[in-house]
Structure 1
Amino acid sequence: MAGSAERNSAQVIRDEAAKLFFERGYDATTLRQVASAAGLKVGSLYNHIGSKEDLLQQIMGSVIDELLERVQACVAEVESKDPVDRLQAALAGHLTFHAERAQQVFIGNAELRSLPQEARENVVKKRAEYESFLAALVDEAGKAKLAEVIDSKIHVYSFVAQATHVAGWYHPGGRLSLNEIVEIYTRLALRELNVADADERAVGKALAK
């Protein structure tokens, strides 16, 4: 039980810090404010973090880990061996995660410069590993002659930019549901790869969880 409570406290700290970093900016947020938002004393924070920089690294590193885990799970659930189906599932998970975790996505893009060099390099490495996972899926579709791949790495940069863009403007209850947004952006991604039946594949697909 104690271990579970510790993990829960660490998650609450990261969640509240992410909100404050998003609303006020990293530099303008103090650990005292983070502690207050998490319902803790400042001294209690140091049971979970070494410094404010360490807290920022935890947020940025964990969000990439969770993104990779989510997208890998989406791909694993695909029963079809069709590589485009696998890529489409990955894109749905990718887009959904960015829409649902917009604050962490913003922090990851805006505050990378605030990390010390070693921590920054670690986050950049994690990002590269995630992008390589997506690129491998793109390459699989290309090798199967189901997609026209110009450069898998550049295609992935496009997909990442699209999802980051969605994170910047999506709000629940807007003109389009998240499911509809995922469907549209997935269709655009498949069209970019010149998948012959891109529209038919995209329409009606369930939202990845």
Structure 2
Amino acid sequence: MSQPALAAVTTAEAIREQAALLFFERGYDATTLRQVAAAVGIKVSSLYNHIDSKEQLLLSVMGGVMDDLLALQKVAVSRDMDVIDRLIAVLDCHIRFSASRAREVFIGNAELRSLPTDARAKVIAKRREYERRIQDLIVEAGEQGKAEVLDARLHTYSIVAKGTHVASWYKPAGALSMDRIINIYAKAALRELSVNDADTRVDGWPAAA
């Protein structure tokens, strides 16, 4: 990649990162493009080399975080292992990502209404794809007799909510390590599904503390 192209990528990333920080701290409506430009250290006019509008910038933040999450989840789902281990892998990915990208998770939940209709539909479609992959694992576990599935969709919502929850309070310097947090949440999720030896399965997971 040429130096000008590399610089453009770096600036685009900086714009997205600073916009996410400002949207998180001030809210989308209260954030101006002038403030974003100032945070990046460029002129407002230069922003338009990278974005078309403030709405497009919000979509970049919200859509980008879902793209990153979907990519990581795809790896977890496609692992060559037992369905319960794949479910634990997905939980691991979900909790770890939600904690490390807490600002964007918050923005995704708080600012969806701020997107134009077409952009909102794109983000919703990505969320549904993300939830569908989790739900498919839950259904598969039930069909194999490895889980007691009361309602696959509601079990899925419960797992997704765990990520939203941890994003709201997790601190790297907190009393619990990330591995321990994942261990606890994964046990809770598997217990909800009445998975046999749920605690043992989670404790045997490579990332468990």
TM-score range, shorter chain: over 0.9
Q: Aligned pair 1:75/2:77, yes or no?
A: yes
String of CA shifts for 1:19-54, please: whole Å, max 9, x gaps: 011011111111111111112211111111111111
Matches within 5 A, 1:1-209: 1=2, 2-76=4-78, 78-80=79-81, 82-207=82-207
Answer yes or no: is the 8 Å Cα contact 1:147–1:193 preserved in 2.
yes
| Structure 1 letter corresponding to 2:171 | H
Answer yes or no: is the 8 Å Cα contact 1:179–1:206 preserved in 2.
no
String of CA shifts for 1:95-137, please: whole Å, max 9, x gaps: 1000100000000000011111111111111111111111111
| Structure 2 letter corresponding to 1:35 | A
Once residues 121 and 75 of structure 1 are traced to their aligned partners in structure 2, the CA distance between those partners, rounded to angstroms, is 24
String of CA shifts for 1:54-113, please: whole Å, max 9, x gaps: 10011101111111111112334x442x11011110110011000100000000000011
In structure 1, the gaps of 5 or more residues are none
- Partner secondary structure for residue 148 of structure 1: coil
Against the structure 1 CA distance between its residues 33 and 207, is the aligned structure 2 distance closer, same or farther, given a 3 Å change threshold?
farther
Once residues 157 and 168 of structure 1 are traced to their aligned partners in structure 2, the CA distance between those partners, rounded to angstroms, is 17
The TM-score, its normalising length taken from structure 2, stands at: 0.94
- Partner secondary structure for residue 28 of structure 1: coil
| Structure 2 letter corresponding to 1:180 | R
Length, aligned pairs only: 206
Once residues 10 and 145 of structure 1 are traced to their aligned partners in structure 2, the CA distance between those partners, rounded to angstroms, is 48
In structure 2, the gaps of 5 or more residues are none
Once residues 158 and 164 of structure 1 are traced to their aligned partners in structure 2, the CA distance between those partners, rounded to angstroms, is 10
Once residues 5 and 167 of structure 2 are traced to their aligned partners in structure 1, the CA distance between those partners, rounded to angstroms, is 33
Higher mean C-alpha displacement, 182-191 vs 144-153 = 144-153
RMSD of equivalent CA atoms: 1.4
Once residues 160 and 93 of structure 1 are traced to their aligned partners in structure 2, the CA distance between those partners, rounded to angstroms, is 11
The TM-score, its normalising length taken from structure 1, stands at: 0.94
- Shift in Å, 1:175: 1.0
Answer yes or no: is the 8 Å Cα contact 2:102–2:168 preserved in 1.
yes
| Structure 2 letter corresponding to 1:164 | T
| Structure 1 letter corresponding to 2:169 | W
